[in-house]
Structure 1
Amino acid sequence: MRKAIALLSAAAAVATLGGIVGPAASAVEPDGPDLVDTGQGKLVWSSCNDTTTPALQCAMLEVPVDYADPRGRKIKIKLNRLPATAPKDKQQGPILLNPGGPGDSGLWMPGYISGQIPADVASTYDWIGFDPRGTNGSDPHVVCDAHYFDAERPDYQVDQGTSKAWLKKAAGYAADCAADWSWLLPHMTTVDNARDLDSIRRALGVTKINFYGGSWGTSLGSTYGQLFPSHVRRMVLDSIVGPTISWYDHNVLQDREHQRRFDAFADWTAKADSVYHLGTDAKAVEQAYHQVEDALRKEPADAAPSTGKIGPAEFEDTFYSGGYNFLRWPRMATVLSAYLNQHDTRPLTIAYNKYAAPGADDGAFPAYNAAQCTENAWPRDWEFWKKDQAKVDATAPFYTYNNMWYNAACMFWPYQGNPAGRLKITGKNLPPVLLFQATEDAATPYQGGLAMHDALPGSKLVVQDGGSFHEILFHGNACLDDTFTAYLRDGSLPQGKGRIAKTCAPEADPTPVYVTPPPATAKALTAARTGPLPPTDPEAVRGVLR
C-alpha cells in the first residue's frame, strides 16, 4: 500500500512547479505605491438580475495568477456590490466581505449583512461580495474530483479497516488536482487571495477599504492588513483563526472543541428525555449515537433525493455540523430518537440532505486544500498521523478521524508547505481592528481570538462568554450586533481595558422539540437542500472552516 501511495504522490509531484511555495516565495514588496502595475483588468458593473435585491450589481475582475509575474497569465474574480445610497458626503467607501471557507462564496453577503444593521449606517457603504480565486463564479472554477464526496464513503473510524481505502482516496485526490491545475493551485494561498483584495481596491479606485471576514476570512483580513496596512480603514474579524498556529495543529484543536460541543449536545438531550426518550444522562445519549452509527454500518439508510446511501461517514458529517450551530440540536436529537424508538429514518435523511449532502462537484474543497496544505509544512508520514491522531482520538473520539481524513490530502499535496508557516501578523501600522470571538466555538477555538488580539496591539476583543455559534454576529444578539454597528457608524470601539474589551452573554439553548417530518415525506425530501444553507435559515452555518 505504501508503494502504491508513493507512486501516486510521485505522479502528482511531476506536475509541480518545484520548491517551496507560500508567503516567503510569492511575496512582493508589501504596501507598495498605488502606481505599481498589477496587470489587472477593470470593473464593468451591470445588473445581477437579482429579483430579491434588484440594486445588486455584478462584475468580473481580471487579476494575475502569480503576482510575482503581473503581466503573465490571468484569471477572473467574480464580484457583486450593493451601492451606497447615502449622500456623497456621508458615504464611507467600500466594505469587502468574506464568509470563510477557505473558498466559500461571498456573493450572498452584501444583501444579507447590509440588511442586518440600521439603514442609516448600511446606506453609507458600498457592500462588496466576491468569489475567491478558483471558486464558484470566478473563472476558472477549480474542480479536482467532482465525485470525491459521493455517498457512501469509506468509514472514518480506523478500527473499521478502511485506512488503506482513505489513503488511496486522499492520494488520488491530490494527484487529480495536480494533473489539471498545477498552474493555479500553488497560487491559491491566503496571501494570493489577500493580493486579490488589493486588486479589487485598485479597481474600485479607492485608497482605503473596510473589511468584514469570518472564520478563514479572519486569516484573509489579517493577512491583507499585514501586507497593506495603509489601505485599511476599518476591519472586523469574527470567529478567529489564531495567527501563528499551524493548520495541522489547528485541526487537532478543533477535534477537542468539537468533542466538548458534542458532550454539550448529549447533556442537553439527556435533560429532555421526556421529549426524545434517549436516556437521562449524557452517556446514554452518546451511546444512542453510537448505536445508530453501528446500525448504519450494517444497513445504510436511503439518502434520496441525494444519490447513494447514508452510512457511518455520512452520519458523522450530519452530526458534526451541530458543533457550528446549536440550533440544529432539536433536529439531531430527533434523528436519534426516531431511528432508535420508531425505526424511522426519515429525520436522518432530511438532516443529511440539509447539512451534509455534497453538491454537484467538490465545491470549495480544492481551495481549502490549496490554502491549508500549501501554507504550512504538513506531516507527510502516515505512521506519524496514525500514532498522533490515535492520541487525540483517545480523548476526543467524536470528530478526530472524521477531521483527519478530511485533511488527509495534505499528506500527499504536491506543493510543499512553507516551513516558515503563514505570514507573520504584527499589526504594524494598522488602525484599530474589532475582534469577535465565542468561548465555545468549535471551528475557530477561543484561543485564536486571544492570540489575534495579542498580535494586533491596537485591536479590541469582544468575547461572547458561553457562546458557541461559529461566526457570532447577526444572530439577534444586540450586545454583539450593536457593537459592530457602532464601529461601522463612526469607528467607535469598546472602551474596556486588557485582553477583553467587552463581554456579551450567550443566546439561550434551543427549546427541546421533536421535529416531526411532514406528512408529505417525498415532497419534504425533495425540498431538503444540499450544500450550505441560506443565511436566512436559522440553522444556517456560514464560513465553515472544517
Structure 2
Amino acid sequence: MSSHPPLARPVARHRRRGRLAVGTLVTALFGQLLTGTAVAAPTAGAPSPGRIAWEPCESPSGQGTFECATLTVPVNWKKPRGATIDLALNRHVATNPARRIGSLLINPGGPGGSGVDFAFSAPESFSPALLERFDIVGFDPRGVARSNPVRCDGDLVTAQSELLYPDSAAAFTSLRRANRALGKSCRALTGPLVDHMDTGSVIRDMDAIRAGLGEKRISYYGVSYGTGIGQQYAERYPHRVRAMTLDSNMDHSLGRWDYQRTETVAMEESYGQFADWCARTSTCALHGRDARALFDSLYRRAAAGELVLPGDPPHAVTTQELQGAAFGDMYDPASWFEFAQYLADLDAGAPSSAESLGRRGEPTQFPYLPVTCQDYDFDVASYNTLARYERKLARLAPVTRLSSLAWTDLTGCQNWPTEVANPPHRLRVDGTPTILVTNSRYDVATPYSWGSNAARQIGREAVLLTYDGVGHGDYWLSPCARKAIDTYLLTLKTPRKNTHCPAIWPAAPSAQRQSPSGGLTNPLPDLLSTGRLGQP
C-alpha cells in the first residue's frame, strides 16, 4: 500500500537502482500490451486458458533465465463470453529442474505494483534456495502496467490531488465532483475494465493462471496489497493452495472508521519508534533533541503558513507534505539517517530540505483508486463526518495527526463512479494447508493489528510470525523472518505459533541498505514508487 502528491507513495530519496524497466526482448514479446491495448471485442465462446505458451525473454538486468507470455481472461467474470483482456506474465525458471517443487506466484502489492517487474527482480531479491526449487511466476494484475493499464485524465488526477484534504463543506463538495469526474475519465480512456478492477476479479484471474500453468495447487508469496489477493484466493479456492505466505497484511474486514483508526495509530507508533531510535543513536542528526516535539513544531508552523523554504519562488510547506514525507520514511528504517537530516534541515530552512521535498513523488497512472474504491465502502454522509474523523484521529495521534495514506484512500473514494463490487467482510478460510502470516510490529502501511486480525480470521489454518521492528515487507527487513518464509515455502514447516523475530535498527549511515537484506535487494521501493500501497 502508498502521499505527496497524495496519489503517489513518497519514495526513498536514495535507491540501490532505478525503477525496473522492461528489456528489449520483453517489449517485442508483449507487443501492444506495453502501450495498453484496447479491451478485445466479445468472442464467440468463453476464453479457454489452456496451457500458457511461454517464450524466452530477458530480464532488464540480464540475470536469470526467464520466459514470458500472455493469458486471455474475461473483463467481467460474470460474463465469460464477453469482452476480454490479455494479462502479461513472466517466470524465472527453477535453476535446478530436477528438484523443482512447482510454481511460486508472487505479487508486490500496490494496488498497482507490477508482478512482472517483481519476478524480473527475483535473481537479486529472493534467496538462491527459492530460485532453485520454484518457477517464480509474476503477473501484472488487470489494469496494471502491461495488462491493459488503467488510464485517466492527467489534469483531473492533479485537480483531485489538490482537494484530498477538504476543510469545509464547500471543499468537500468540490472533492466529490472532482472524484466523479476523474473516475468517469478513467472509464472513458480505459473502457469497461475500470468497472471490474476489484480483488475478487483478480483472484479469478489468478486461478486462470494456475490452470494455465497446469498446476493442481500453487504456492504463493504476496506482500502488502498482495496479501489481500492471497487471503481472498485462499477463501475462494482453498484446495488449490499448496503453500501461502502473506507478508505485511491487509485487513479486508474493516469499515471506514476502523481503517482510519488503525492506520493512524500505526503512523504514530512508527514515528515514535523513529524518535526513540534517534534519542539513543548518537549519529542521528536529531540526537539530543526531542523528535516528537520537533515534528509537532514543524506541523504547527506548516499549518500557520510559516514553514517556508528558500527558492524562486519560496515554497510554503503544507501539513500534508510534512505528513506524507514522514509516512514514506517509515517504510524502511534504512532511510532514517537521511530522514532525520531532512527534518533538521527543514527546521532550519536549509535549501537541501527543499530539494528533498521536491523529489518525493510523482503523479501516477492509475489503477490504485479503481481497485481501492471497489474493495472498500468509504463514502461518508457529509463533511461533518469527515471533520469529526479528523478531530478524533488527532486525539489518537497527537504528533502525526493522521495517516496520509488512509486519509487519501477515504477522501479519494468519495463519490467514485463505480460500485463497491467486493465489499469488506471477515475472511472465511476453510480447508487450506497452513498459511504463514507475517507482519512487523510497527508497519506504517499495513498495521500489525491488520496482520494479527487476518490471522485470527483465517483461524486454525494460520500461523502468525511477528517481526518486532519497523517497516513494510518482512522478507527484506528481517533475516529471521526470511529464513522462516524460505523454510516454510520449501518444506511446509512453519515456525511455532507466536514466534517473534528481533528488531534490527540501522547502526550507521554507511549501512543504510545493507545488513537486514543479507545481500538481497529489496525491490519494493522501486516497484511501489508508482503506486500507493505497499501498497498493503
For this structure pair, what is the TM-score category when the shorter chain's length is used for normalisation?
Answer: 0.7 to 0.9
Q: Does 1:60 align with 2:66?
A: no
Q: Does 1:442 align with 2:451?
A: no
Q: Secondary structure at the match of 1:508?
A: coil
Q: What per-residue deviation string (whole Å, max 9, x for no partner) do you get for residues 289-341 of structure 1?
A: 3266358767466699xxx9965533432221122222222212211222333
- Corresponding residue for residue 349 of structure 1: 355
- Corresponding residue for residue 402 of structure 2: 400
- Corresponding residue for residue 468 of structure 1: 470
| 1:224 shift after superposition | 0.8
Contact 2:88–2:146 at 8 Å: present in 1 too?
yes
Amino acid at match of 2:412: A
- Corresponding residue for residue 387 of structure 2: 386
The residue correspondences of 1:44-59 to structure 2 (distance < 5 A) are 44-48=54-58, 50-53=60-63, 55-59=65-69
Q: Secondary structure at the match of 2:367?
A: helix
- Corresponding residue for residue 240 of structure 1: 249
C-alpha distance in structure 1 between counterparts of 2:169 and 2:319, whole Å: 11
Contact 1:40–1:61 at 8 Å: present in 2 too?
yes
The residue correspondences of 1:170-249 to structure 2 (distance < 5 A) are 170-181=179-190, 183-246=192-255, 249=258
Which of 244, 251, 264 does residue 255 from structure 1 map onto?
A: 264
- Corresponding residue for residue 83 of structure 1: 93
C-alpha distance in structure 1 between counterparts of 2:113 and 2:280, whole Å: 36
- Corresponding residue for residue 340 of structure 1: 347
Contact 1:38–1:199 at 8 Å: present in 2 too?
no
The residue correspondences of 1:312-391 to structure 2 (distance < 5 A) are 312-341=319-348, 343-350=349-356, 352-353=358-359, 356-359=360-363, 362-363=364-365, 366-382=366-382, 383-391=384-392
C-alpha distance in structure 2 between counterparts of 1:259 and 1:504, whole Å: 22
- Bigger mean CA deviation after superposition, 283-292 or 160-169: 160-169
| 1:81 shift after superposition | 0.9
C-alpha distance in structure 2 between counterparts of 1:396 and 1:369, whole Å: 26
| 1:252 shift after superposition | 2.9
| 1:533 shift after superposition | 3.5
- Corresponding residue for residue 33 of structure 1: none
Amino acid at match of 1:73: A
The runs of 5 or more residues in structure 1 that have no matched partner are: 1-35, 516-530
- Corresponding residue for residue 516 of structure 2: none
Amino acid at match of 2:265: R
- Corresponding residue for residue 520 of structure 1: none
Contact 2:331–2:470 at 8 Å: present in 1 too?
yes
Q: Secondary structure at the match of 1:436?
A: strand
Q: Does 1:130 align with 2:130?
A: no
| 1:507 shift after superposition | 0.7
C-alpha distance in structure 1 between counterparts of 2:418 and 2:531, whole Å: 30
* Higher RCO (CA-CA < 8 Å; seq separation 6+): 2
- Bigger mean CA deviation after superposition, 432-441 or 36-45: 36-45
Which of 413, 420, 423 does residue 421 from structure 1 map onto?
A: 423
Contact 2:180–2:417 at 8 Å: present in 1 too?
no
The runs of 5 or more residues in structure 2 that have no matched partner are: 1-44, 513-522
- Change in Cα spacing, 1:399 to 1:177, as seen in structure 2 (3 Å) is farther
- Change in Cα spacing, 1:157 to 1:258, as seen in structure 2 (3 Å) is farther
- Corresponding residue for residue 505 of structure 1: 502
- Corresponding residue for residue 15 of structure 1: none
RMSD (Å), alpha carbons: 3.7
Q: Secondary structure at the match of 2:248?
A: strand
Amino acid at match of 2:356: I
The residue correspondences of 1:272-283 to structure 2 (distance < 5 A) are 276=285, 280-283=289-292
Amino acid at match of 1:357: G
Q: Does 1:533 align with 2:521?
A: no
Contact 2:225–2:250 at 8 Å: present in 1 too?
yes
C-alpha distance in structure 1 between counterparts of 2:294 and 2:307, whole Å: 21
Contact 1:236–1:433 at 8 Å: present in 2 too?
yes
- Change in Cα spacing, 1:395 to 1:448, as seen in structure 2 (3 Å) is closer
- Change in Cα spacing, 1:154 to 1:371, as seen in structure 2 (3 Å) is closer
Aligned residues: 476
Amino acid at match of 1:427: V
C-alpha distance in structure 1 between counterparts of 2:283 and 2:244, whole Å: 46
Q: Secondary structure at the match of 2:461?
A: coil
C-alpha distance in structure 1 between counterparts of 2:282 and 2:125, whole Å: 36
C-alpha distance in structure 2 between counterparts of 1:186 and 1:347, whole Å: 41
| 1:246 shift after superposition | 3.1
C-alpha distance in structure 1 between counterparts of 2:55 and 2:48, whole Å: 19
C-alpha distance in structure 1 between counterparts of 2:90 and 2:417, whole Å: 33
Q: Does 1:70 align with 2:76?
A: no
Contact 1:57–1:80 at 8 Å: present in 2 too?
yes
| 1:80 shift after superposition | 1.4
C-alpha distance in structure 2 between counterparts of 1:296 and 1:270, whole Å: 29
Q: Secondary structure at the match of 2:451?
A: helix
Q: TM-score, normalised by structure 2?
A: 0.78
Q: Does 1:95 align with 2:128?
A: no
- Change in Cα spacing, 1:168 to 1:275, as seen in structure 2 (3 Å) is same
Q: Secondary structure at the match of 1:135?
A: coil
- Change in Cα spacing, 1:480 to 1:291, as seen in structure 2 (3 Å) is same
Contact 2:176–2:414 at 8 Å: present in 1 too?
no
Amino acid at match of 1:337: A
C-alpha distance in structure 2 between counterparts of 1:178 and 1:278, whole Å: 51
Amino acid at match of 2:489: L
| 1:436 shift after superposition | 0.7
| 1:472 shift after superposition | 1.0
Q: Secondary structure at the match of 1:493?
A: coil
Contact 1:39–1:64 at 8 Å: present in 2 too?
no
Q: What per-residue deviation string (whole Å, max 9, x for no partner) do you get for residues 493-530 of structure 1?
A: 12x25xx2x111011245479x9xxxxxxxxxxxxxxx
C-alpha distance in structure 2 between counterparts of 1:84 and 1:545, whole Å: 28
